[in-house]
Amino acid sequence: MAQDRDVVVVGGGVAGLVAAATAAESGASVLLLDARRSAGGRARTHEVDGYLHNEGPHALYLGGELNAALRRFGVPVRGGDPARGTYGGLSADGETVPVPLTAGQLLGNQALGLRDKAAMGRLLGGLAVLRPARHADRSAAEWLDATVRPGLGRSMVHALVRLATYVPDLDRLSADAAIVQLQRAASTGVRYLDGGWVTVVDGLLRAAAARGVALAVRRPVRQVRRSADGRAWSVESDDGDVVEARSVILAAGGPGLAAQLAAEAAPVLAEWAARAVPVTASHLDVGVHGAWHGPSVVLGLDRPTYLSVHAPLADLAPGGTTMVSAMRYHLAGETPDPNADRCELEGLLDRVRPGWQDQRPHIRFGARLVVAHDRPRPETGGLAGRPGPEVPAAGGLYVAGDWVGPEGNLADAAAASGARAGALAAGRSSGSARSSEAAAAAAARMAP
């Protein structure tokens, strides 16, 4: 069969969209297949009664790889800065204490003793000069134990790391990943996006279309295998349609789906899937009338919970209303009870804003959402030890997603690995190692 495309990308989330646009920008003919009725993956936004709901609380790191890709592709985004508000920590006895983010806030903090202030001051003041890669072989918990003395200060830092990474069990997270997130949050900050993350999806879709990417939705893929002549890849959809391409990028569903689709041709995919430790959480969005009083972000100090005011900070809700997102983070291997998670999050709101249920609030709950398909861990080498994007012993097969590659966390990892995979696939399709190297260099220029 004649080759239909240079590159086929499976999955239209952030990783797949960046991969497709990058490959097309390098001159490859690209087909993007997505199983759902619309692209976007977990970056989609749902509108209900005028409220815009992301699939769980999302924040764009301005110093991250995704924002770099958006700038490169000319995708404008706007939003609010949560650091302009106040942060509080909620203890078991229901007391909310201020959590300092700056040296001035730390000095004026009445809840922390002098030793806690000194330890937190050393950490906050020294963040910028830390080299994350030097800490890749230790857990975030070990790093914190060696950096901040036990007590309220460490509980606050633990909560901030959890906020930045979505991981509550810091012994199952490499320290380099935690440090990268803290550095980026402290230096360039984050934004809650006006209009929700669909603005990212729509912008990347426009960028991909402008570069010639063909998009096919409602096209779930059944199998990816070597073509008969062994020089290309065959991508078979559930409807029996087959497309051949010199390169294929698997950017949907994490390592488990990648293994399901192509483990016969690339057994290492099953190994990657078996060792993955996903990050999951339940979340509750609540819309209420009127303004919010009290801290705009509340972090559980003895429970893996979080609450943040997302609107009106970002344009996500009708005028005169407030939308709050709360999250219950899950431990690795935990089997969460959705009802218990919802009750805990509603109880968190009860403690922070008593009487909210009397306002006939707008409510949307999501149980056990996948935040990331894997997390960087010390035993696998931290960020640098993550798989891909190239799949060993399977020339022309690549992976992309929040579990792939040495750069970034969460959506930033998806964008970074998508850019790298797209560049490598386009270079291979051109038929020369030099072109592949040039394409990879172009992807590297997307780095923040």
Q: What pLDDT is stored for residue 231 in this prediction?
A: 85
Q: What pLDDT is stored for residue 2 in this prediction?
A: 44
CA distances from 333 to 11, 223, 276, 279, 402 (A): 26, 29, 11, 9, 19
CA dist., res. 441 & res. 349, Å (int): 48
CA dist., res. 446 & res. 332, Å (int): 32
CA dist., res. 264 & res. 394, Å (int): 11
Collapsed DSSP state (helix, strand, coil) of residue 405: coil
Q: What pLDDT is stored for residue 1 in this prediction?
A: 36
Q: What pLDDT is stored for residue 429 in this prediction?
A: 78
Distance of CA 396 to the CA centre of its chain: 26
Distance of CA 242 to the CA centre of its chain: 31
Of 62, 69, 61, the closest CA to residue 17 belongs to 69
Query: DSSP labels for 217-254?
Result: -S--EEEEEE-TTSSSEEEEETTS-EEEEEEEEE-SSH
310 close to 325: Cβ distance less than 8 angstroms:
yes
CA distances from 155 to 85, 120, 226 (A): 20, 11, 51
The one-digit pLDDT tens for each residue of the chain (448 residues) are: 345 899 999 999 999 999 999 999 999 999 999 999 999 999 999 999 999 999 999 999 999 999 999 999 999 999 999 998 899 999 878 889 999 988 889 999 999 999 999 999 999 889 999 999 999 999 999 999 999 989 999 999 999 999 999 999 999 999 999 999 999 999 999 999 999 999 999 999 999 999 999 999 999 999 999 988 888 999 999 999 999 999 999 999 999 999 999 999 999 999 999 999 999 999 999 999 988 888 999 999 999 999 999 999 999 999 999 999 999 999 999 999 999 999 999 999 999 999 999 888 999 999 999 999 999 999 999 999 999 899 999 999 999 999 999 999 999 999 999 999 999 999 987 765 545 565 556 556 666 7
